Amino acid sequence: MSGERTTTVLVGVTGGIAAYKSCELVRALMKRGYRVKVVMTDAATRFVTPLTFRTLTNEPVAASLWEDDPSAPVHHISLAEEADVFVIAPCTANVIAKIAQGRADDLLTTAALATEAPIVMAPAMNVHMWRDEATQENVDRLRDRGVVFVEPESGELACGDVGEGRLAPVEAIAEAVMAEAERAQDLAGRHILVTAGGTQEPIDPVRYIGNRSSGKTGFAIADEAARRGARVTLVTGPTHLADPFGVEVVRVQTALQMHAAVMERAEDVDAVVASAAVADFRPAEVARGKIKKTAAPEAIALVRNPDILAELGARQERPVLVGFAAETSDVESNARHKLEAKRCDLVVANDVSDPALGFGTDANRVAFVTRDGVEWLPMLSKRVIAREIADRLARLLGGADVE
Ligand code: CTP
């Protein structure tokens, strides 16, 4: 993404009485210099006409999947691709539910499913609808997937009820959009190398020593960094995960192969995020043929593998380094020790003694350990943890280096 291009914000308007406030939101975004395009649900067009938005934005307004007007090139995929940020305000309970389920039965929900851009939702609805368990579950699910919510406010609602459900102030929504637009570029011009997954250390042609790392966190970080404009190289041990979009993926099996793949590229990178669970030891000898049970060895001699992160930390010109510490006790002090021993800028620590957390799960509770202190995060999805790590990484790299 070049610095020259105007950032495009796609504003989704759904059918609620607060739809009239979307006009103010459009103006607030245009005042900030964004190009604004509007997509409406059918219900929204009953509250505000597409002509209003067309006049405000000077752009065609998208409302139907079936529009066939050649002067209004509003195809759902092109809309999704054009958007740098997609903000849905007001967002009804129904649209939240549809997007949470991945339904795409109109232009707005289709664009939400198709876009790679960050999504901001500003819900507005009756207080009981907002508090309903179904709505709250849908909100949680979307939050886990990275959707940013601008929470509704408390006050008198259009239906006469009093409580939460009123659309957040337009300025607060515009600020959230701005934060996402900045985030979407804050790693531009950077080259980030991520290690992920566990390594496998062969014993013979069919057996290996391995660990329970799924690679999910590393893949999520690589994906997040690429979305935010970085050039990303992902060096991963064997996993079942698909290559993240726009990321160079180098698949390896052993610690020695991972070490070689990282060192080959280390000169060229601004930061290394070492999320891989690298085996500390490998069998001293790998049997050429399958070891038969009649000839089982009494013991397998092991030798140390090189420590990739420590080796990078020992370099004179080292990239920004983020290490991981999976601990079963004394999480903070062990992580701090790793921070110092491997000369990292940040260590992401977690407690793997709880089987519900860590390896293979979709959520985790981590602490960020730096020279300045420790910060525990709440329980978050790996996707959201990846976003938090990328936020810290952008700060450590000192802002975007956009040419
Ligand atoms: N790491 C690495 N190369 C290794 C081993 C670990 O790059 N050969 C990195 C991991 O990717 C992770 C961090 O170092 O970022 C984890 O530290 P590590 O020393 O593996 O922790 P433990 O092995 O658990 O150390 P200890 O057994 O002393 O707790």
The correct answer on CATH 3.40.50.1950 for the domain covering 8-183 is yes
Q: Which residues in 271-379 belong to E strands, given as ranges?
A: 271-274, 281-283, 302-304, 320-327, 346-351, 363-364, 366-370, 373-376
Cα separations in angstroms, 162 against 153, 168, 185, 381: 10, 15, 40, 33
Q: What is the C-alpha end-to-end distance of the chain, expressed in Å? A: 10
Q: Report which protein residue has its CA nearest ligand 1's atom 18.
A: 325
Q: Which atom of ligand 1 is nearest to the CA of 276?
A: 11
Q: Does the annotation mark 159 as catalytic?
A: yes
Listed residue (152, 126, 155) closest to 139, CA to CA: 152
**For residue 6, how far is its CA from the centre of ligand 1 (angstroms)?**
43
Is 191-399 the same fold as 8-183? yes
The binding-site residues of ligand 1, defined as CB within 6 angstroms of any ligand atom, are 195, 255, 274, 276, 278, 280, 305, 307-309, 323-325, 338
Task: Report the C-alpha dihedral over residues 159, 161, 167, 172, rounded to 10 degrees.
Answer: 150
Listed residue (69, 45, 61, 49) closest to 10, CA to CA: 61
pLDDT by 10s per residue, the chain, length 403: 444 679 999 999 999 999 999 999 999 999 999 999 999 999 999 999 999 999 999 999 988 766 655 555 556 788 899 999 999 999 999 999 999 999 999 999 999 999 999 999 999 999 999 999 999 999 999 999 999 999 999 988 888 888 899 999 999 999 999 999 999 999 999 999 999 999 999 999 999 999 999 999 999 999 999 999 999 999 999 999 999 999 999 999 999 999 999 999 999 999 999 999 999 999 999 999 999 999 888 999 999 999 999 999 999 999 999 999 999 899 999 999 999 999 999 999 998 887 777 676 788 999 999 999 999 999 999 999 999 999 999 999 995 444 3
Rounded to whole angstroms, how far apart are CA atoms 228 and 192? 11
Residue 104, both tokens: 């795409």
Domain 191-399 in this protein, CATH class: alpha beta
Residue-range domain boundaries for the chain: 8-183, 191-399
CB 41 within 8 A of CB 106: yes
